[in-house]
Amino acid sequence: MRSRGKKPTNTLITWRFLLVCSVVFLVFMTLVARAAFLQVIEPDKARSESDKRTVRVEKQHVQRGMIFDRNGKELAVSVPVVSVYADPKALHKSLISKVLRQARKNGEDQQALAENTVELDKRIAAYYSNDIRWRELADVLRIEPSKINSRLRDNPKRRFVYLKRQVTPAVANYIGDLRLPGIHLLDESKRYYPAGEVTAHVIGFTNIDGHGIEGIEKLYEKSLTGVEGQRTIRKDAQGREVEVLDERERVEPENIHLSIDQRIQAIAYKAVKSAVLSYKATSGSAMVVDVKTGEVLAMVNSPSFNPNNLSDAAPHKRRNRAITDLFEPGSTVKPLAILAGLDYGTIQPDSIVDTSPGWMRVGGSLVQDTRNHGKMTLREILKYSSNMGVTKVSQELPKDYFVSLYEKVGFGSDSGTGMVGESSGLFYPNRRWSDHEIAALSFGYNLAVSTAQMARFYAMLGSGGVMRPLTVLKQESIPEGERVFQQKDVEAVVHMMESVFEKGGTAQKVHVDGYRAAAKTGTSKKAAVGGYGDEYVGYIAGLAPASNPRLAVVVMINEPGGDVYYGGATAGPAFAEIVSNALRILNVAPDKDAVAYVEGKDNDA
């Protein structure tokens, strides 16, 4: 009887045991299945969630490379600045938390207030407006409070918005002390240009993100930028580094050493700016080139701009006119016509050219001088800038040969600087040339060149007939060039060009203190619709010292106002100032037979 009564109890216990085991087994299998699902079928999601909590990426920032002049003087440096940005979503969460905490202190129902969005937004706005720190933030950033409020409060779902870029460390420290929720500071760097407007067109500038926009900054963007380093690490719950997942070394940027000499650059800029203001010209440019290497020692323009403050940097001020603006060079290319005759053998250094009666018709068009000079030596042709003289010399030459020389000396091609925006000029040697077009070409019309191209041509004369590309980078050795003219012919023409500064020459009032100079002035009308207008361009291009040329200098004054517009008068004084001071800076010994010029009644030394 007792054994029969125990069976149901044993059965019940067995059933319960089996049930518990089954449940435990199902739970276990569920966990195994889930683990298998996460580890095998969809492992990426689990890894992603784990990485979000443990993996950190540390960046190793690099400063932008510096730009130096040839003597190691800083022309562009990076200075530390701080940018202020906000996280509107984090700010909104912080305000909600503070409003609810205040409600709890006042004995209100937090849950009810949180669900009442209208009342909650009203209290958030009141709490925000009563916090004086936001007005202090607006004041220190010099931004209208309404603008600050709109960036912070208009869209609480945003995660990032700049309040102000590139503030000083002092301002950043003040903002940090305010301890405002959702406001963060980001370390950055800002480009600073110590020379300001003096080197603005050469160096260029960067945008607010540090990317080169103009000049050297853009030309060598990759070299100046470098590559940031990066370390990917895993941290534990206490923030300790436990594993390095990936590490990339940063690539330091290069420093650029220019051929520019800051001292000569400053002298040239002062001289050109003074000439532009004195003669009420639209603009002016100048270049100084080392004839032995092709290095550009100075490249200036006026008007210029301050690259440290672009608020007044209008587009016409930012243009590097020395390489972009084109003009018909006028009489500054007349030495090439004389050189062509000597090179081809149709004339000799002591040849006489009869320019009587001072005018003639070529191809139905008139070529004339200001007066009848009669028989002239080659030296006198350059001294008095005779259109008749160079026309008669060019008429004795084959057209193809004469035109090819202009192409050979660099007209119609880049000067070699590689600068952003450089123009190759306007010259089409392969077209048919009429007799009058050849004549006009000999005295600087029917082609358009830049100041840089003219500087390259005169550097060729200074090097004795060796053509080299111009460069804005400092050269450690003398680059090879291409000989385009015999040295004896070039030296003969350079000696003839000294006559320009003699009495009766086109630059007789211009004297280079302490040095012999050889130059050629030029004045050309500016082309306009249907022909030529009433505006002029004044040029002077030359070499110094003439006994052993070291520098080629070209000065251009565009559209001088008033009655004085000839190149010798407008550009000549700037040329003399640049040459004499630059040669002293380079420790070039003065010529023994050259004396300081004292102006007298007749402007004779």
Q: Which residue has the higher pLDDT, 248 or 60?
A: 248
Per-residue pLDDT for 598 more than 50? Answer: no
Mean pLDDT calculated for residue range 212-240: 84
169-183, 259-273, 452-466, 569-583: which range is least confident on average? 169-183
- 456 membership: H or E segment, kind and range: helix 451-462
Distance of alpha carbon 452 from alpha carbon 285, whole angstroms: 10
pLDDT in tens, 108-132: 887 888 888 888 888 888 888 888 9
At 50 the pLDDT is 67
- 8 Å CB contact between 167 and 141: yes
Per-residue pLDDT for 44 more than 50? Answer: yes
Q: Which two tokens stand for residue 545?
A: 């010292």
Q: Which two tokens stand for residue 455?
A: 């500087």
The catalytic residues are: 331
Secondary structure (H, E, C), 282-324: CEEEEEEEECCCCEEEEEEEECCCCCCCHHHCCHHHHCCHHHH
In Å, how far are 58, 128, 166, 212, 390 from 209, measured between CA atoms? Answer: 20, 32, 10, 9, 54
Per-residue pLDDT for 152 more than 80? Answer: yes
In the chain, the percentage of residues whose pLDDT exceeds 70 is 93
pLDDT in tens, 544-583: 999 999 999 999 999 998 888 899 999 999 999 999 999 9
At 455 the pLDDT is 97
At 11 the pLDDT is 73
**N residues, the chain:** 605
- For the chain, the distance separating the N- and C-terminal CA atoms, rounded to the nearest angstrom, is 152
- DSSP assignment string, 183-243: EEEEEEEEEE-TTGGGSHHHH--B-TTS-B-SHHHHHTHHHHH-B-EEEEEEE-TTS-EEE
- 8 Å CB contact between 196 and 112: no
At 312 the pLDDT is 87
- 369: which residues sit within 8 A by CB, 6+ positions away? 355, 358, 359, 384, 386, 387, 388
Distance of alpha carbon 552 from alpha carbon 460, whole angstroms: 9
Mean pLDDT calculated for residue range 26-47: 76
**What domains lie within the chain, and their CATH numbers?**
60-257 (3.90.1310.10), 262-305+321-585 (3.40.710.10)
At 599 the pLDDT is 40
Mean pLDDT calculated for residue range 427-455: 93
At 464 the pLDDT is 95
Give residue 160's identity as a one-letter amino acid code: F
Model pTM? 0.82
Give residue 198's identity as a one-letter amino acid code: V
Q: How far is CA 60 from the centre of its chain?
A: 27
Distance of alpha carbon 518 from alpha carbon 580, whole angstroms: 13
pLDDT in tens, 133-145: 999 999 999 999 8
Beta strand 74-86 with 375-377 is unpaired
Beta strand 229-235 with 67-68 is unpaired
Distance of alpha carbon 361 from alpha carbon 376, whole angstroms: 19
Instruction: Name the residue among 469, 475, 439, 436 with its Cα closest to residue 455.
Output: 469
- 539 membership: H or E segment, kind and range: strand 531-544
Mean pLDDT calculated for residue range 292-308: 96
Q: Taking CA 24 as the corner, what is the angle to CA 20 and CA 26, rounded to the nearest 5 degrees? A: 115
134: left (phi over 0), alpha (psi -120 to 50) or beta: alpha
pLDDT in tens, 270-293: 999 999 999 999 999 999 999 999
Backbone angles phi, psi at 193, to 5 degrees: -120, 100
